[in-house]
Amino acid sequence: MVEIIPGYGRMDEVLALVKEYTDMIAGQGGDVVECLKSQHLDAELLDMEKKYGLPWGRLYLACADGKAAGCAAIARLDGEICELKRLYVRPEYRGRHIGNALMEQAISDARDIGYRYMRLDTFPFMEAAVRMYERRGFLPIERYNDNPAAEAVFMELALF
């Protein structure tokens, strides 16, 4: 059984998941490492509630059979636009639709908050994630942030 819960009360588990995720993508080297630096990841990890806290943000923990399996977050960009961040599922839990469940919870909450658009940035090497976003209706858009990676992919979903 998979349960999506607020991650605020289990921050150690969320931080471990985000660290696994960022270590995984940093393993690609080059522009990915520069991207993580530009996002001030160290500061984010010290105070995740600042970026993803209520009322405008959300932080999720996916639990499978009571164990931390994945995470995701919503960050506010402006009054109408939020950003899907740090969506990650541990390799041993992939194929169980946990990523979809995290994304659906984030989309539902973004609508409830009143956002009209959800954006994200990702990388082409994350093929399964890009396909999942496309299946859900995310479309390519122009660069919307200061991500320095030349190969970064930018996407947006209309929430209305």
| Contact criterion met (CB below 8 Å) for 48 and 14 | yes
In a domain, residue 31? The reply is yes
In a domain, residue 87? The reply is yes
In a domain, residue 151? The reply is no
Segment 58-69 mean pLDDT: 97
Segment 72-88 mean pLDDT: 98
In a domain, residue 158? The reply is no
Residue 14 neighbours by CB under 8 Å, 6+ apart: 7, 48, 59, 61, 68, 71
**Which structural domain, as residue segments, surrounds residue 111?**
2-115
pLDDT > 70: percent of the chain: 100
Cα 122 to Cα 56, 58, 130: the distances in Å are: 22, 19, 8
Whole-angstrom distance, CA of residue 4 vs CA of residue 129: 18
In a domain, residue 140? The reply is no
Per-residue pLDDT at 9 = 96
In a domain, residue 152? The reply is no
Whole-angstrom distance, CA of residue 137 vs CA of residue 121: 15
Least confident range of 32-46, 64-78, 104-118: 32-46
Other C-beta atoms closer than 10 Å to the C-beta of 5 total 13
Angle between helices 98-113 and 127-136 (to 10 degrees): 50
Can you read off the two tokens belonging to residue 38?
């530009």
Whole-angstrom distance, CA of residue 40 vs CA of residue 159: 28
CATH number at residue 89: 3.40.630.30
Number of domains the chain is built from: 1
In a domain, residue 19? The reply is yes
State pTM to two decimals: 0.93
